[in-house]
Chains A and B, each alone.
Chain A
Amino acid sequence: MTTYRVAGKGRVDTGQPVTFTFDGKRFEGCAGDTVASALLANGVHLMGRSFKYHRPRGPVTAGSEEPNALIGTRRGAGQFEPNTRATVQEIWDGLETTSQNKFPNLKFDIGAINDFAYMLFSAGFYYKTFMWPKNFWHKVYEPFIRKAAGLGVSPTEEDPDTYASRNLHCDVLIVGAGPTGLAAARAAAVGGVNVVLIDENVECGGTLLSKPNAEINGMPSWDWLAAELVSLRSLGVKIMTRTTAIGYYHQNMIGMVEKLTDHLSDLPKDTPRERMWHVRAKQVILAQGALEKPLVFHGNDRPGVMLAGSAQTYLNRYGVLVGKRPVIITSHDSAWDAAFDLADAGADVRAIVDTRETVDEELQSQARMRGIGMKLSHTVTATSGRLRVSSIRVNPIDDGKAGDGLIIPCDALLMSGGWTPSLHLFSHTKGSLTWNEDQTTFLPKDTPEDCTIAGASRGLWGIENVLIDGASAGVKVAMALGKESQTRQHKVTHDRIGSGVSQIELPTDKSSGKAKAFVDFQNDVTAKDLRLAVREGMRSIEHVKRYTTNGMATDQGKMSNINGLNIAADALNKPQPQVGLTTFRPPYTPTTFGAFAGYHRGDHFEITRKTQIDSWAQENGAVFEPVGQWRRARYFPKRGEDMDTAVGRECRTTRAHVGIFDASTLGKIEVVGPDAVEFMNRMYTNPWTKLAAGRCRYGLLLGDDGFIRDDGVIGRMSQDCFHVTTTTGGAARVMNMMEDYLQTEWPDLDVWLTSTTENWSTIALNGPKAAKLLAPLVDGVELTEDAFPHMSCAECTVAGMPARLFRVSFTGEIGFEINVPAPMGRKLWETLWQAGQEHGITAYGTETMHVLRAEKGYIIVGQDTDGTVTPYDAGMGWAVAKTKKDFVGMRGLMRPDLVASNRRHLVGLLTEDGTKLEEGAQIVFDPHQAIPMTMVGHVTSSYHSDAMGRPIALALVECGQNRMGETVYIPMPDRTIAAKITSTVFFDPSNSRVKIPSGEML
């Protein structure tokens, strides 16, 4: 095989061979190669197929802006990723790569048949067709289109790699470590600020890596670079390579992704594959440089047609000649330099074709010196060669028209249409742009962020210019941070600044309708498509983009946007700014999902909150359920029990003896201060003024719309201190709501709110023997009906632990809730469990809690209410104070619809045939009506009740409270169930069981 490696060139290590495979074939490259550079060194240009026409494609670039050379990369099981840019993927021993979007193989691809139907597949053709016959869309056309689309194939296995994330704070973040960024970093660091300098490439240097001939301050550029990096490090600059700034967010927050292992053959243990950095920088300097523009002409997409600057990079960075007989086609001086570099490295440069009439005399004489033929005022009108360019047709331009052509054989065609500043991140800041007619490009103007853009990113060319500009950006940010700094002098020789003209499509000798001059390579968008879009009324660049898909490929328009804009503007005969520039959207380059997810995978997807008693439940065989972020014990099955039998037993035992329940997940908020009672009066519907210290009360919280938001028992621990409990799921919401009111509506109130959910472990004891069990353990309160009646609370000690004890019941039995400092929770639980053995204690979970409370008609907010239920609907009008001036939701409650006569009320339901209803089932009055039926409510809770010996249900039913005893119907798919409306209280309606029998010996 011929090799295209040039001895003595490049920064790769030719002494260190690396083997990898491409489509199953082994290739050898050097350490430091990318897949693209290694394949090019082996003479391979064909690396992929395009999206729509499946045209053969090779790399056009040498960087992250590559649209064509996309490959699948694979390391091992689960470690495959599609659409990797061959131009940035470093090779390592054993790397497997595959080409994409081809069948049966890359060299012969059936899909290329689309290429012949080119005229049919013009821009927007999808919108105009596939409509007849109608049902064909779903069955035939769409599946066909979908199959044709897409590039690579998705991974199908779980990813074994890990991903990390970190925060970083710095004074100055500099994005891009080319000459601009390097100079900026030094100037800022000398000023004494803390600097982070990043680059997406493997090494710093940017354009310098492709320009070894330049001399900076008397040193060859690579030596200067090496020395500069040493001194930056010694100044404390943090330098991060393989790190891409993907997005610029509010208040100078930058998201960055660092690649850690994709270049390694052997993975170090426990190293994440990528790391997402959240950076907050006081100042940001954007020094992302510029991107070279392709030229647009018929056949500009053939493998072997490449950007001239990229060819120069392949030569100088990788020591690879992309062709031995290249031709240059350009409208910019920079490609001449590329030609000279290639010629000096031994290439037989066949010609420099320049569209311009006049070119700098110095360049011409250099070409002459090297014996390179020049064709000024010429264009390329065609390329040929099936899988790699083998010749081109060059034509003189006369008055904008192409004259007679001349065929030049070649093995590469290097193009340059000039350079476009990289404005992506600047654009993320919502920075404004201004059109620069001289350079035919947008330049940055203002940004709302503390952001400076420097160097080629703002349209400055030449190393010396950008060094100076970078340095002054560094000084500027140092000064903005209150530090002094100075720019250094920079003198650069062999600095080629160059100029050029911008082109739309090059003149052609073909009928313009037939030319396939590509603008967006990957998506196969041609100049003709853009003009068609304009012809069809697409006048803004966003419309043109969306209609043609120009700029929507995985290079995100880096190759195509500006050419697309120039052509659209020409077609519209309007200046570019009036046609607009499409917004650049993050991420800057495609970014692995895993890097965004970071640590939030599997168990860590969202933290699992566990109570102090959770471990006991686990050891004792509990079945758990997720409730918000918490996991809670649902029931405690004994051997052989299913949920229903376990729950039946837990219910029975609790009602007959005593049950113990972990209520620690309940939200708890401490409301303290001289105005605490006023605050409570305003927040909750209930009156609080007369609640004595040492007593508690069921509190109901509404939204300002008058609907129930939360509930819970609230104890008045002292005159100015309330212990508020909330639902488990509502804890954060209630806290936020309280803070919101306190801070925005009632800042005058002297009240402090503290979330204490995690400060307390809360254990509920319920059952006829609860008092008997607990009394011996309590110090400081006498657990008699007189001394500590139902709805009392007190500070005391329980089993020697400081506690807040509540006498409350969510079961209808004698009940206590014991709060102890959280870490003591398990000890208290075990003490109670031990003490309970002689009383026949059972542990119970959320399911039993639900059944027991439903038997008593106690609601669960969010299950029996859904944000449309008022206290009156829920049968809890008693909880609404009648004489308070105001409380949250009071006005809402008075709205006409909330006091209308047809509201849905919470009622009990007993099925006539004794079946258990399905929660969520809908209720109708007339079961014989046709669909759509008039629904009058739904079943909110439904359980088998052990105490009642039958299923019970709660439901919201229209006017239910006025329909006691009436029959309603629940139409199920297979049959209709009849049920009778009853009170919500099924068990012990007189509430006699919560009393500790008087005279009971404790």
Chain B
Amino acid sequence: MPDSQFVALLGPSGCGKSTLLRLVAGLDAPDGGTLAVAGRPLRRHEHPEALAFVFQEAHLLPWRTLIRNVILPLELRGMPHGERTGRALHMLERVGLADARDRYPAQLSGGMQLRGSLARALVTEPRLLLLDEPFAALDEITRQRLDALIHELWRERQFTALFVTHSLREAVFLAQRAVMFSRRPARVVADRAIEFSGERAAELRGLPAYQAVVDQLYRDLLTAEAGA
């Protein structure tokens, strides 16, 4: 997988997409085989340095204010106090939550909490971002807004992204490449490049070209479901 690529991982429930992410993050150990991150095989229980993970739910620490949640990764890595506050605040501005910096997670909406967890993931400027169905629990409008935000951040920072999702539309909107897995034992049934000219904006979702790719992926999904 080349640098700075945005890859969507698709497939039926339970085919091991999330497990793949957890293996890359070093949170689970593989039964066999090897995994290479940044051209180097990953040892058991090693967590790649420049990596960040966005979980299915925001999982902000409820006893910390929003800004202190965003500071946490920098704090754990030992960044000096003055520097980390500035970085966290900048990141919060970037996701549009600067005004809510001193609120506690319980005082934030679900969408705001997820934006907060995105800020927490990106504050360390990771080269590799893993997203495990981050927006599954959100309503469609909020979800589309967050997709647009992720796309913007990705264009700006050019990190590599592995994005697990169940939404084909979301995958086509965000990814440059979609990989479809079959049922267990999982194999790759399709690996497609997704190319649109120009910047991706909300209008993209209305274009026939966009619909065509979604349809193609849907046929792939049927194949994957059939287990062929």
A pairs with B: no
B-side interface residues toward A, CB under 8 Å? none
